[in-house]
Every structure is written in structure tokens, then in C-alpha cells.
Chain A
Amino acid sequence: MATGIRDKVAILGMGCSKFGERWDMGADDLLVEAFQECIEDAGIDKNEIQAAWLGTCFPEISVGQSALPLSISLRLPNIPVTRVENFCASGTESFRGAVYAVASGAYDICLAAGVEKLKDTGYGGLPEFGANAGPRAWMTGVNMTAPGSFAQLASGYGAKYKKSDEEIKRALAHVSAKSHANGVKNPKAHLRKAVSEEQIMAAPIIAHPLGLFDCCGVSDGSACAIVTTPEIAKSLGKTDLISVKAIQLSLSNGYEMGYNEWEVDHFVTTSKASEKAYEEAGIKNPREEVSMMEVHDCFSITEMVTMEDLHISPRGEAIKDIMDGFYDADGKVPCQIDGGLKCFGHPIGASGLRMLYEMYLQLLGRAGDRQLKDPRIGLTHNLGGFPFMNVCSVAIIGRHG
């Protein structure tokens, strides 16, 4: 009988590079920047790492294939290193690989790293998918971008819950304004500028109804974690242990896209992954028990509907919670306290680990100006792909025991 991952693995150390337009650094340099902080935090020697995972999503434009870029950048001692890719869940997948390896007893200490170098394309936004999307992409694929795919949630959600365009647009503005306010307090964030709801609503449209400020930053960056067993962590002198409570993944199977029921109003996968994660973590009432969250706010509308799929806001009531300030820094469940993808930035392969990094800092009381009061449980969420077919990951970490 499977018992889940709860409290079987502890985080020994974490590191995160500054995110942003890192014209000065390649992916290998960014990996080193995050790793230096991480290994220092862990307090171990590099040679104690027994296996490693690397998450990247667009290797074509940065590191290339295989896990060699991690092994070479960090001069790892010829250990097993694996590259994983699962769209925007790639960073969390890397973490999952390392955590499961420790939990299995195969290794004592493992490294999970993620990196993305997106700013070498010559244009804004994510790299074009077309060239590498397979022979049918041009034949039948819709002329769709990431903002355009997620923007459709607004039309589906509005139609289902009878919400006006104005109501939705205002709630989305609040989502982004909150993240901008949080990002100001984060020295590692890509975007550190407060923006008003009025400015957000007046910005140029990227994909109707999403404007410029409804879209997250496309950034360069890296983050990593070193994990081990709680016993080894204690033996290394760690006292305030942070352990993994749950890691769940849920992938679309074509139902949203191909069957006749889904109404483009929510994420089927997030709804399932979060249920399984709460069960794994022993959380009965997430609205009460989750202290804080870092969710995949690639677009403001994604964050909005995700509040319902994480079972924090009741169905159809995310707008009310958002406008009530429930997810603001001083709200009941602060969300995107580090600025989120919106302002911390979104180097895809690093994002899942970056979210865990913030939860880790908050749980240890090391979050500086943006420190929350006595958080106990932190949830992270990634959503890779499109509302129509996607990969969702949910991870929960908290104080050990």
C-alpha cells in the first residue's frame, strides 16, 4: 500500500539566481549562481551529492539536449544526472525526481536544478512552438500563442458564471497589482515596480481580454534544491527542518479538448492534482490549513481560475475572494508573495523550484521584507501547456513532522 511522500524527505538547502533579462549570463552561469547559494545553505561538499536532475523546457534555444549541461556547469563528479521536461512543470519534475530518489533509499543526497535562458530569441514572449511541434503543427495547429490560449478561459468562465467582461477585467487587474506590489519587496525579482489597477486595465491588449500586465515576465534564471532524509539532515546539524508533504502531477488525457463536457472555465488537472496532494499531505480543509501559495500565474486569468481548482475559493467565487483581498500579502492565504511568475519572472525550467524556494524561505523566516507571520504549510503549483491540454504539478512543503 503506497504511503505517499509526506515527511519522508527534507530540504537541506536551496538557491535561486536573480531572475530577469540576464544578458550577462548563459544558462550554465545561471546554474552556478543558484547552486552556489544552495550548496552553501546545505552545508555539504559537492562530492556528497549522489544524483542530480535538471529541468528545462526550451533546450533548443539554450542548453541543448541531455543532462550534460548540468553535469558540466557544476563539474559534478560523474554521478547520474537526468534531464526532465514536462512543459512548465519541468522544475517541479526535477524536484520530484530528486525527492523520489531519496525516498526510495537509492541515494542519501540528491540535487534538483532547473534553468531557462529565454532571452536569446531576439523577440519578446515565449519562443515560437511551430518549428519543433511535429509534422501536424502547421497542418492543423491553431495560430495560437500562450497568452491567446489562456485568454480563452475568460470567455469560458464569464459565460459559465455569468460574469461580465468588466468584472473579470477588474479582478484580473487586482491579481496583477497584488503581484506587482509583492515583487517590489523581492530583490531577486525580474519586475520590481508597483502598478495600479487602472494602469493595468489601460495597458495594450496582448490577447483579448489580457493586457500587457496580465502576462508574466519571460525571464532568464535558475533555481535548485538539495534534498535528503530528515535523519541525515538532523545528523548534519539542521534543526528547523522543512520537509516535503506532497508532490502530485496530473496530465490531460484529451478529455478537455476532445470530449463534449468541459467549458473552458477551469483546469481539470489542477482540480485533480490538488485533491491528491491534500490527501497526501493530510490536509482536510485547504482554505484554512494552507498558509501561503505560489501558483502558476503565467497569466492573471490562470491565477484567478486556479484559486477554484485548488479548492481554496468555491466554484464561481474566485472573483469575490480576489476583490476581498483574500490572496493579498495581508490576506488569509497570501498568494505570489515573492511576486509570482508575474514579477519574479518565469524561466520555465526553474519556476517550480523558484516557488519552492520562496516557500522554504518563508517557512524558515528568512524572507526579509516580505516575511509572513508564522506560515506552516506552503503550496506550489505549475501548469504547463494550455487550458485545453496540460501538465499540472502541485507540491506542498511545511515544517517537518
Chain B
Amino acid sequence: MVGITAYGAYIPKRRLNRMAIIQSMGWLAPALMTAAAGERSMCNWDEDAMTMAVAAARDCMTGMDKSAVSAAYLASTSLPFKERQNCGILTTALNLPEEGLVTADFTASLKSGTTALLTGIDAVRGEGKDHVLVTASDARQTKCAWFFEMWYGDGAASLLLGKDNVIAEFKGAHSVSCDFVGAYRGANAKFDYGWEERWIREQGFTKIIPAAINGALEKCGLSMDDISKVVYPCHLSPRVHQSIAKPLKAGPEKIQDNMAAVLGDTGAAHPLMMFVAALEEANPGDKIVVASFGQGCDALVFEVTDNIKKLPARAGVKGSLANRKEEAQYSKFQKFRDLVNVEMGIRAEANKQTALSAMWRYRKQVLGLVGGKCTKCGTPQYPKVRMCVNPSCGAVDTMEEHAFADKAGIIKSYTGDMLAVSVDPPAIYGLIQFEGGGRALFDFTDCELADVKVGQPVKMSLRMKYYDEARDFHGYYWKAVPQT
């Protein structure tokens, strides 16, 4: 049996109330009011498609054996690098074995998430790859005061594919590939350019998605009556989203909520995000069809198995949506996404060049948060260096790798720094002590100074550490997220 063996998701904690956009920009674009219901997710200033992909993949791998993953695919239209495989950042952050691992980025289309999923299924079925990790993530940049800003959200979803302990068996798929361009982003552009929504609805969504889904059902010898949930994205109004199901003869109870009111459309991640939400509510025996919409559509049919009840607890979509903080200030959204030119002071001018040779040497430390454990005295320590830090040991070259990313930690000291250059002052940071040993100073994120205490538990999260404007380089590292 081939199919899904685990799922995960990540949605940034911050949710921008769409009325905050209206309150700030409604004078300029009153038509936005038609799309102002609910809220959308927004990345913290140190989050992007890359960091969300890592978070979703970690959620997906909860309780799973990372060392068994033999291929990892990353789908997105908003990755930080054009050359330098972004999936390599993901797999290094997950501390996957480098030997025997196949990695690939799937990009340039909003259907790339399902295409990566299909390719992953093919790999498990045909190439002897027992465990394939497919992650989709998007945080698309949008111009101020336009519908894209209202419609889109930020988020990532991740699926592990395999042959054993399958929770949703793959039954079949059908794809339609065509150069339908509802919106595009040129290779050197920051923002999407889109065509009239009525045309996209009539010639795109309501024709291409049903064609692919019907094709998939036909291949599987199924009819809509056999299907419990139909999962497909549409960033236009909820009414348009519902209308796409009409030619499929799927009743409203079968249409998976696209979460427009609480999340927004997460681009390449959205079909997978909605699929994860469907799996969270699914019962054994349910058949789910998952479809995307980009330059065409991939439709895949799955059947949920009894194993879904045994999947270890994880945040998923439900948990991610519940971990929520409303952001009422639109100006924060603008600054976090670098849409306004704010004075950051002379201190911010420091040279941020990254030594690529050092980055390679320290990749496991920097991206994987891998430290050391002395094989002589057993002391976990960070970073991994040649001499043991234990004052009563001091052994040389006795260190084995010791991963800290998933270790529980507590705060030993902290401050909120108003002098440090920060997009969202104060810069909060402090000393983290890991359970079982090992400690280091880390920046804190997704927290308020008033809530931070000595002794408070933290979880580690890969975030953007710095952005080198001069060389267009995103640097990533781990930060501590205080748990309240």
C-alpha cells in the first residue's frame, strides 16, 4: 500500500484582521471592502516560506524516523534562492542524512505542491524510496492595498509518503497541464500581476479543476457519491469557491473549507493545507480527492485507513490555527514584509557578508542546531568543539553529534533590548538550558517581553536570522519560542 503516512502544518501565529487594511487604506481602495471579512495569517518578520516549510515538516515528522527519509521535495513560489536548492536548507534543518538523499524544489506554479506530491508517490511506488517527505510553503509578497493582500495568507503543509502504516492510501490521479495564466510573477518581480477575476473564475477555476477531478474519479472507477471530501483551492470569494463544485455535482457538505476567513490562500501550500485539515476530520474509509490550481490542475484520490487513529498528536492545521495572536496594526504587516522604508539607524548598516566556506563547515550547527555530546563524560554541549566543556573532563576529540532542535528548553536569563537593531523591538533574547544538558544564548521570537520569565519552557524554531541586502542572502538560524 502506498500513501500518506503522516501530515503536518504550520501557520504563523500572527493573524491580520482584514479590517485593519481597510482602516488604513480604505480611503484609497474602497472596493477592498468586498474582501474584508475575517483575517489572514502573516509571517512574523523573521519568517518566510523557508522557515514555515521547516516548521511544517518538523510537525509532520513528529514521532517519525527522520533517518529513514530518502527523498524530500519542497514546493513554493516564494523561496529565498533561485540558485542554491532551497530544499537543501530544509533537509539540513531537519538534520536528514546527506548520503542517499534526493532533494528537489518544485516551483513557479501554484500547483507545484500537488505536483511534488504526485512525484513523491511515483518515487515510493517505482524507485524503491520508502519514505518521501513533501512540503509546500508560500509567503507571497503583495502590493499594499490590493486584493492579493486581502486574499493571500502565509503557511506551509507537509506530508510524509511511504508504504507502511499508511493513513491515507493513494488510489489514483489525473492531471491537466495548460498555460492558463490568471496571474504571474516575472523572474525579477516582487509582486504578482493578475487578470480580471471573472475571467479566471469562468475560464479557469470552474473548467480546469472539474476536468481534472472528473478525470481522476474516472481513472479510479469512482463517482462523486463515493467521495467524502473534495479539496481544492480558490482564493476568490467563498461563493466562487463553492460554485466550482457545481459541475462536479458535489454538495456543499463535501466541499472542504478553504479557510479564507481564518487563514487566506497559502499559494502552492494551499491544496496540501486543506488536505491536512480534511485528514484531521476524516474517518477510516473516507475517500478524499485533492486538487490544485495553477497552470492546470493535479487531482489525487486517497482513501483514509484505520491507521489515522494511531498517528501521534501534532499541531497540524487545527493546532496551528489555534495558536493565534491577532495583529491589529497594518503598519506592522507592512514593515515585517519590507513594504515601507523605515529608518533603521546607522547600526543597521553593518556588513552582513556570509562566508560560504564557513557556512559549509558549520552547516549542521547553523541550520541543524547540532551540537556535541562527549562520549567520555556524557555531557551534551553546544556548539560541538574539540575539547569537552565539562571542567572535570576536558577530553579531546570525544564529541559525537547531538541534535538540540527537538529538545525541550527553559529560560535561564532574558532581556528586552531597545538598543539592538530590530524590526520588532525590543529584541528579546537570553540563555536557554536544554533538558538533559547543553545551553546557549538565543534570540527569542513570537513572544511579548511581559510574558517572559526565568524557568519558562521554550521550543526551538528555525527563523530568518539576517538578510544581507547587499548580496540578497537570507541567513537562517534557530530561535527560542517561549511557551505560555
Q: Which residues of A contact B (CB under 8 A)?
A: 121-123, 125, 128, 130-131, 135-136, 138-140, 142-145, 147-149, 151-156, 158-159, 204-210, 253-255, 257-260, 263-264, 388
Contacts and interface: CB of A to CB of B under 8 A. Distances in A.
B449 interface: yes
Nearest to B380: A260
B418 A205 contact: yes
B346 A258 contact: no
A208 B350 contact: no
A156 B442 contact: no
- Which 4 A-B pairs have CB atoms at the shortest separation, nearest pair first? A148-B417, A135-B355, A152-B413, A135-B358
B415 A260 contact: no
Contacts of A156: 412-413, 431, 454
6 contacts: A128-B347, A139-B477, A148-B419, A207-B415, A257-B440, A263-B412
Contact of A138 (B365, B430, B465): B465
A207 B418 contact: yes
A122 B346 contact: yes
A154 B412 CA distance: 11
Interface stretch (B48-56, B104-112, B420-428): B420-428
Contacts of B430: 152, 155
A206 B426 CA distance: 9
Contact of B433 (A140, A260, A388): A260
A144 B358 contact: no
B443 interface: yes
Contacts of A205: 416, 418, 426
B354 interface: yes
A140 B429 contact: no
A281 B418 CA distance: 42
A139 B465 contact: yes
A123 B349 CA distance: 12
B419 A207 contact: yes
A154 B415 CA distance: 9
B184 to A, nearest CB: 34
B475 interface: yes
A142 B421 contact: no
Given A123-B345, A135-B354, A147-B419, 9 more contacts: A138-B466, A139-B475, A140-B362, A143-B420, A143-B427, A155-B430, A155-B454, A208-B415, A264-B431
A144 B441 contact: yes
Given A125-B419, A128-B350, A144 B429 contact: yes
A264 B412 CA distance: 7
Interface in B388-413: 389-391, 412-413
Listed residue (B379, B417, B426, B465) with the most chain A CB atoms within 10 angstroms of its CB:
B417
A254 B415 contact: no
B380 to A, nearest CB: 9
B341 interface: no
Contacts of B352: 130, 138
Interface in B433-460: 433, 437-443, 449, 454-455
Contacts of B440: 257-258
A142 B442 contact: yes
Given A138-B466, A139-B366, A207 B455 contact: no
B417 A151 contact: yes
Most buried by B among A135, A152, A258, A264: A258
B446 to A, nearest CB: 15
A265 to B, nearest CB: 9
B330 interface: no
A147 B417 CA distance: 8
A142 B466 contact: no
A264 B432 CA distance: 11
A72 B5 CA distance: 73
B278 to A, nearest CB: 39
Contacts of B443: 142-143
A260 B439 contact: yes
B34 interface: no
B188 interface: no
B454 A260 contact: no
A260 B414 CA distance: 17
B413 A153 contact: yes
Contacts of B484: none
B429 A258 contact: no
B258 interface: no
Given A148-B415, A259-B391, A264-B413, A139 B354 contact: yes
A131 B421 CA distance: 14
Given A135-B355, A208-B449, A257-B440, A158 B454 contact: yes
A282 to B, nearest CB: 29
Contacts of A155: 413-415, 430, 454
Given A147-B417, A151-B417, A140 B477 contact: yes
Contacts of B390: 259
A264 B439 CA distance: 12
Central interface residue in A123, A136, A144, A260, by most chain B CB within 10 Å: A260
B381 interface: yes
Contacts of B468: 138
A156 B453 CA distance: 10
A128 B465 CA distance: 17
A154 B452 CA distance: 13
Contacts of A149: 415
B355 to A, nearest CB: 4
B382 interface: yes
B441 A142 contact: yes
B359 interface: yes
Contacts of A258: 381-382, 389, 438-440
A144 B366 contact: no
Nearest to A211: B418
